[in-house]
Amino acid sequence: MSNNLRNIKKFQQKHVNAEDAIKKYIKPGDRIFIDSGCSEPIDLTSKLIELSPHLTDVEMIHFISLSDLDYYKSAGGKEDLFRHNVFFISENLRDAVKSGFADYTPMLLSDIPKFFEKGQMHLKTALIQVSPPDEFGFCSYGINVDIAKPIAESAEYVLAEVNPKMPRTLGDSFIHMDDIDAYILSDHDIIEFTYDPPDETVTKIGKYVASLIEDESTIQMGIGKIPNAVLVELEEKKDLGVHSEVFSDGIVDLVEKGVITCKKKTIHKGKIICSFVMGSRRLYNFVDNNPFVEFHPSNYCNDPFIISKNKKQVAINAAITIDLTGQINADSLGHSFYSGIGGQVDFVRGANHSKDGKPITVLPSTATLKDGTVVSRIVPYLQPGSGVVITRGDIHYVVTEWGIAYLFGKSIRERVLQMINVAHPDFREELLEYAKKINYVYSDQKLPLSINGRLSLYPDKYETTYQMKTGYTIKIRPIKATDERLLQGLYYSLDKDDRYLRFFSHDRNFPHKFIQPLVNIDYQTDMILVGESLEEGELKIVASAAIFKT
C-alpha cells in the first residue's frame, strides 16, 4: 500500500482539497455523476452538502445509492437544491421519488453506458472513488465498475477520491491518472452492505431454486435476500461458475468450499465475471488483486449476447408481484416506483438464449402491508400503474415457498394452473374463481380438496429421482393439478392391449371430465404417483400408479 501512495506523488500537481475541487469543477445547473453502491466517494459528497447553498439546480446521476448523507434527505423538500436522478431506487431515495422531489429513469443496465457515450445525456463532472495508482499510473475503480467507468469516460471532468482502503480489482477496471482532472486523498472505510438472515420462507425458496441448478452451471443472482439465500443451498453442487452483475459474501463461502471453480465455463473459463460487489470487508479483501475475479463495465457484463455464451447460465432474480399469465412486476407498487429494472431483463434474456440456461424468478407468495393485512403476491392482474419488467414471453421458472412453476411455452390455461399451484393456499380459491370468471380455465376447474373440503397441499416429500443403468433418468412424484394434459398424453400413447388392461376397453377417450378427478386428489385417501422424464426435450409423463381407498 505504501508503494501505491509513493506512486501518486508523480501526480502531485493534480492533488487538491475537496472544497477547491467542488468549487472548480461543479457549477450551478450542472449534471454530475456520483459513483454508486458501496463506492460512493463520501468525502467529496460530504463537501457537496457543505457547499450546497452555492450549487443550486445541480442534477445528480446515480445507480444504486446506499449512504445516509444529508443530501438525500434534502431531496425531500428543496426542489431547487440537488435534483437526484437514479437508475435504481434505493431506500434512501424512495420517499423523495414518490413525493416528486427526485427522478427515476428506467433503463436496462446494459444500455446505460451507451446512453452517455452517444451524448444523449451530457455530463459535466464524474465523482468517483478509486484505489491509489500502480507504478504505471493506473488506478482501479475497485468494487464498482458497472456504469461508473463508461460514464466517467464520457464526462468532461473526472474528480477522484483516492482511497488506500479501496481494493485494487482486476479486469476492465482501470483509469489512468492522466484521465483524472483532480483528486483528493481519503482513508475512510468503504461502505459495507449486509443482508438480513433468511427466514423459513426464504430458506424454502432457496431449496427449490437449488434443485433447479445443475452441476457446472454458471449463476447470476440479483440483489435481495432471496437470491442471496439461494447460495446457502448450493454447497453440494460441483464446478459452478459465476457471471453476475453483482455478488456478495455468499460467493466467497462457495469458493472457499470448492463449489465455485469456474472450470467448466464456456466463456471466461476460470474467472468470476461481475461489474460490482456489495458486502463486507471480507468480500472486499477477497476481490483485492485477485486474478480469479474480473470486473467489467455493465455494457459488457450485462450484454445478453455475452451472457448467452455461458452454457447452463442460471439467472436468479426477485419479483414484487406476478400475475396469473406470467407478467412480472419488479420495480413498482402500483403507481409508486419502488426499485428499478437493473440487470434483470439482461440476464433473463441472456439465460434464455444460453444452451440449457434457466431464467428463474423468485418471490414469497405473500406480503404483509403496514396495517397488518396479508396479501397475495401472485395476483389475478397487475395493479394499475405496475410496470411489466419481464413479459409473458420471457418468463420461465417461478419459485415461491410452495414450489416451482414452469411457464415458458405454456398456454394461458396451463400458466394459470401453474401459478395457482405456487400461490399461498389461502388465496388459491380466490385466484381460481377469477380465472373462471374471465374464461382463463374450464368453468368446472377444481382444486385438490380433502374429504373434509379443505385444500390439499402437494406432498413434495414423496418426490425422488431414479437413474437407470442405461442412463435414463425418471422423476417419481405425486400427480399435480397441472398434469392434466401430460396424463392425457400418457393414456393416448398406450396401444390397444395396454389400454384394455388398464381401462377394460379398447376404444376409450380421455376428456377433461375424465382426467380432472385423477389430477385433483387429496393425497390422503387417494394417491397417484407418476414418472416424468424429458424425451427429446419435451417433458412427458411416462408412467403412473394409483392407490384409491374404497
Q: What is the C-alpha to C-alpha distance for residues 507 and 518, in angstroms, rounded to an integer?
A: 19
The residue among 44, 25, 24 whose CA lies nearest residue 34 is 44
The whole-angstrom distance between residue 531's C-alpha and the CA centroid of its chain comes to 32
Query: Are 292 and 222 spatial neighbours (Cβ–Cβ below 8 Å)?
Result: no
For the record, the C-alpha cell of 50 comes out as: 457543505
Query: Are 349 and 247 spatial neighbours (Cβ–Cβ below 8 Å)?
Result: no
Query: Are 113 and 95 spatial neighbours (Cβ–Cβ below 8 Å)?
Result: no
Q: Which residues pair with 37 in a beta bridge?
A: 65
Q: What is the C-alpha to C-alpha distance for residues 151 and 136, in angstroms, rounded to an integer?
A: 23
Q: The cell 450546497 sits on which residue? A: 52
Q: What is the C-alpha to C-alpha distance for residues 127 and 226, in angstroms, rounded to an integer?
A: 32
Q: What is the C-alpha to C-alpha distance for residues 253 and 257, in angstroms, rounded to an integer?
A: 6
DSSP string for residues in 129-160: EEPPP-TTSEEE-TTB-TTHHHHHHHSSEEEE
Query: Are 219 and 241 spatial neighbours (Cβ–Cβ below 8 Å)?
Result: yes
For 370-397, what is the HEC assignment? Answer: CCCCEEECEECCCCCCCCCCECCCCCCE
Q: What is the C-alpha to C-alpha distance for residues 206 and 287, in angstroms, rounded to an integer?
A: 25
Phi, psi of 321, deg, nearest 5: -145, 155
DSSP strand pairing (336-337 vs 332-333): antiparallel
CB atoms within 10 A of CB 115: 19
Q: What is the C-alpha to C-alpha distance for residues 222 and 346, in angstroms, rounded to an integer?
A: 11
**DSSP SS3 for 309:** coil
Catalytic entry in 40, 233, 245, 401: 245
Q: What is the C-alpha to C-alpha distance for residues 250 and 248, in angstroms, rounded to an integer?
A: 6
Q: What is the C-alpha to C-alpha distance for residues 368 and 387, in angstroms, rounded to an integer?
A: 21
For the record, the C-alpha cell of 276 comes out as: 460490482
Q: How long is the chain?
A: 550
The residue among 282, 45, 284, 46 whose CA lies nearest residue 165 is 284
Query: Are 221 and 316 spatial neighbours (Cβ–Cβ below 8 Å)?
Result: yes
**DSSP SS3 for 252:** helix
User: Is 245 a residue of the active site?
Assistant: yes
Angle between helices 484-493 and 512-519 (to 10 degrees): 120
Please, what is the Cα angle at 441 between 437 and 442, to 5 degrees? Answer: 95
Just list the catalytic residues: 245
